Structure 1
Amino acid sequence: MTDTFELEKIIRQRGLTKKEVAFKIGLSEQGFLLKLNNQNEFKASEIQSICNLLKCSRDIFFKDTVN
């Protein structure tokens, strides 16, 4: 389960919007938001792209419980 709070925090810290991240990894804004909010799952390739873009750990995509 994706740690939405942490991922949104990292996106803001990098000076990007969720819409920009979605575009850069090849998703629609709506598709990205569904995955960000754990309604759909990110593909491995999307996780890799996000981690490369944001310079973050993959750990935020594999939380057992999320606040």
Structure 2
Amino acid sequence: MTDTKALREKIEAKGLKLKAVAEKLGITPYCLQRKINNENEFKVSEVDKLSSMLELTLSETQAIFFS
């Protein structure tokens, strides 16, 4: 289950908009929103791209996506 609050904070801290993040992941903003809200799950490849995009450490990635 994704830590919605932590993920949103990391996205905001990088100054990114959800639309831009969705485009980089190759999904629609609606799909990204559903994944952030735990209605759908992130694919491993999406977690990898997000971790790189947001410059997350391994421990941050684990805490946000695999808690």
Query: Taking structure 2 as the reference length, what is the TM-score of the superposition?
Result: 0.89
The Cα offsets for residues 11-40 of structure 1, whole Å up to 9 and x where unpaired, read as 000010111111111110000001000000
Which has a greater percent of helix?
2
Equivalence for 1:23: 23
Q: Which runs of 5+ in 2 are unaligned?
A: none
Deviates more, 1:54-63 or 1:1-10: 54-63
How many pairs are equivalent?
Answer: 63
Question: Aligned partners of 2:24 and 2:65: how far apart in 1?
Answer: 18
**AA matched with 2:61:** R
In the alignment, which residue of structure 1 is the partner of 2:65? 61
Measured in 2, the distance between the counterparts of 1:52 and 1:29 equals 19
Q: Tell me, what secondary structure is at the counterpart of 2:34?
A: helix
Aligned mates of 2:13, 2:61 — CA distance in 1: 17
Whole-Å separation in 2 of the counterparts to 1:8 and 1:58: 13
Over the aligned positions, Cα root-mean-square deviation in angstroms equals: 0.8
Runs of at least 4 residues off by over 2 Å:
none
One-letter code of the match for 1:12?
Answer: E
Partner of 1:3: 3
